[in-house]
Amino acid sequence: LPLVKASNSLSLSLQAKMSRPVQARRLEGIDKNIWVEFVKLAATYSTVNLGQGFPDFPPPDFLKEAFVRALSGENHMLHQYTRAFGHPPLVKILAQFFGKLLGRDLDPMTNVMVTVGAYQALFCCFQAFVDDGDEVIIIEPFFDCYEPMVKMAGGMPVFVPLRPKAPKDGKLMSSADWQLDPAELASKFSDRTKAIVLNSPNNPLGKVFSRGELEVIADLCVKYDVLCISDEVYEWLVYDGKEHIRIASLQGMWDRTVIIGSAGKTFSATGWKVGWTVGPNRLLQHLCTVHQNSVYHCATAAQEAVAQGFQRELKLYGKPESYFVQLPKELQQKRDWLVQSLDAVGMKPIIPEGTYFLVADISKFKSDVPDVPDSDEPYDSRFAKWMVKNKGLAAIPLSAFYCGAHKNNYNHFIRFCFAKEEATLKAANDILQKWKWEKTNP
């Protein structure tokens, strides 16, 4: 009898080995992720990490205190589930706040939905709106997850590039010099187009789309009856007196736009993963369907704290004490330090009008990292890897923000994040200065 038992279990274990493919077809070609690779490299080699986009300074005290109060206060229900589509105090204050910004009455229960960061908001949009074969226009360079998320939903990404114009009189380039060609943009729209993804202020360039540029996009959306997924996570981070214009406020756009925001960027707390969507109920109801069938619910205490953060900001709106006034002021100074550091060593910066990213031209440093002809890997990617391993400075190659076919179009730029303590930016400056000195004194 024991022998029979043994042979049974052997045949069972053989059967347990599956030979059929396990991976769903929708995952084909989207298994690589730039952040997994570069975050690991930065953790292993970097002494100064200006790669992934997160502040190395703390969130404001009023926000941290609100979280502590939520966790240790009397209301123990803040440790339990809350409303699936958003904790009531948070959706209420978001409706009030965005209602004021957009100049329209918003219903907290139908015009706002809270998500696990802006990332999940994006995922909900693509799952809710994109059918097999639908085309979705993506403006390059773009936050990299748009492409795989569209593909996972069965859609076809259609790319249109921002094209750089040479700046005048030997001036440094600005992110405003990167522009869409209106005719090229129009040529991408057709009756197959379901949506366009707009990201202003744009990661990675820091471009803040002007009213004129937004009107061109809006007119095409209306003409072709296209949705706009408007990723506005850097809405407060605009510099030099620039204004962030919400495309949903333009004629004909409210009804076809989902606005996406992030407490991570808004309050310098990326690890909290609180995000939101704002839009008309006819669109948001479908995001709710995706949300209730996937994540269902977001962390209650973090939502409570973010709600209190917004309550404070609504009271102080436009005043010098407002975090939404102070943060961009501080970041503009950090941007200017990094611009100076890079310019001084000849790594030409493109001055960003918004976000906490800055793209720089590495052409003058090419001699340090020789090209490998016929390599599959874009030059900027090899450069960024070499830089973190040999100089301890982490940055992200610009090619990571282009689709596969276009990765070599702009492959001599890298992106730095400047939402960092003064000491971190100073350490980056020291590395760059030493590097330049070694180049000129071999």
Q: Is 69 exposed, middle or buried (0-12, 13-18, 19+ CB in 10 A)?
A: middle
**Least Å distance between CB 438 and ligand PMP?**
33
Asked whether position 199 contacts ligand PMP by CB under 6 A, the answer is: yes
Decide: is 55 part of the binding site for ligand PMP (CB under 6 A). Answer: no
User: Measured between alpha carbons, how far is 361 from 340 in angstroms, rounded to an integer?
Assistant: 14
Scanning 72-80, 98-106, 111-119, 374-382 for contacts with ligand PMP by CB under 6 A, the matching segment is 111-119
Instruction: In angstroms, give the least distance from the CB of 304 to ligand PMP.
Output: 17
Among 275, 279, 309, 328, binds ligand PMP (CB under 6 A): 275
Structure tokens at 365: 């440093």
Pick one of 262, 268, 277, 303: the residue that binds ligand PMP (CB under 6 A).
262
Return d(Cα 268, Cα 323) in angstroms, integer: 10
Give the single-character DSSP code of 158: E
Largest CA distance in the chain: 92
Tell me how many residues contact ligand PMP (CB under 6 A): 14
Q: Which stretch binds ligand PMP (CB under 6 A): 114-122, 206-214, 221-229, 310-318?
A: 114-122
Binding span for ligand PMP by CB under 6 A among 149-157, 270-278, 281-289, 358-366:
270-278
Site string for ligand PMP, 125-144 (x = CB under 6 A): ------------------x-
Decide: is 203 part of the binding site for ligand PMP (CB under 6 A): yes
Q: Does 49 bind ligand PMP (CB under 6 A)?
A: no
Q: According to the binding rule CB under 6 A, does residue 277 interact with ligand PMP?
A: no
Name the CA dihedral angle for 146, 147, 152, 154, rounded to a multiple of 10 degrees.
Answer: 110
In the range 142-171, which residues lie near ligand PMP by CB under 6 A? 143
| Shortest Å, Cβ 262 to ligand PMP | 3
The span from the CA of 95 to the CA of 113, in Å, is 10
User: Which of 117, 161, 206, 328 forms a contact with ligand PMP (CB under 6 A)?
Assistant: 117
Residue 165 Cβ vs ligand PMP, minimum distance, rounded to whole Å = 23
Q: What is the dihedral of CA 365, 371, 375, 379, to 10 degrees?
A: 10
Residue 333 phi, psi (nearest 5): -65, -40
Smallest distance from the beta carbon of 216 to ligand PMP, in angstroms?
A: 21
Smallest gap from Cβ 300 to ligand PMP, in A, equals: 17
Closest CA to 354 of 180, 168, 207: 207
Q: At what angle do helices 422-440 and 323-345 cross, to 10 degrees?
A: 10
Minimum distance from CB of 144 to ligand PMP (Å)?
9
Residue 233 contacts ligand PMP per CB under 6 A: yes
Name the residue nearer to ligand PMP (CB basis): 115 or 381. 115
Establish if 424 lies at the interface with ligand PMP (CB under 6 A). Answer: no
Asked if 231 touches ligand PMP (CB under 6 A), the answer is yes
DSSP letter at 87 equals -
Which residues neighbour 224 within 8 Å (Cβ) at sequence distance 6 or greater?
A: 189, 190, 191, 193
Query: Does position 309 bind ligand PMP by CB under 6 A?
Result: no
Least distance (Å) between residue 347 CB and ligand PMP? 22
Q: Are 430 and 50 in contact (CB under 8 A)?
A: no
- H or E element: which one contains 115? strand 112-116
Residue pair 255/370 in contact (Cβ under 8 Å)? The answer is: no
With 0-12 CB in 10 A as exposed, 13-18 as middle and 19+ as buried, what is 328?
Answer: buried
* 264 belongs to the binding site for ligand PMP (CB under 6 A): yes
DSSP label at residue 359: E
Nearer to ligand PMP, 203 or 381 (CB): 203
Q: Which residue is nearest to ligand PMP (CB)?
A: 117
Give the DSSP letter string of 386-439: HHHHHH-EE-EEGGGGS-GGGTTTT-SEEEEE--S-HHHHHHHHHHHHHHHHHH
- Asked if 379 is part of the footprint of ligand PMP (rule: CB under 6 A), the reply reads no
What number of other Cβ atoms are within 10 A of residue 105's Cβ? Answer: 9
Return the number of the residue (335 or 391) whose C-beta is nearest ligand PMP.
Answer: 335
By beta-carbon proximity to ligand PMP, the closer residue of 349 and 354 is 354
Name the E strands within 185-262. Answer: 193-199, 227-231, 257-262
Q: Tell me which of 51, 53, 206, 349 binds ligand PMP, using CB under 6 A.
A: 53
Q: Which residues here bind ligand PMP, judged by CB under 6 A?
A: 53, 117-119, 143, 199, 203, 231, 233, 262, 264, 270, 273, 275
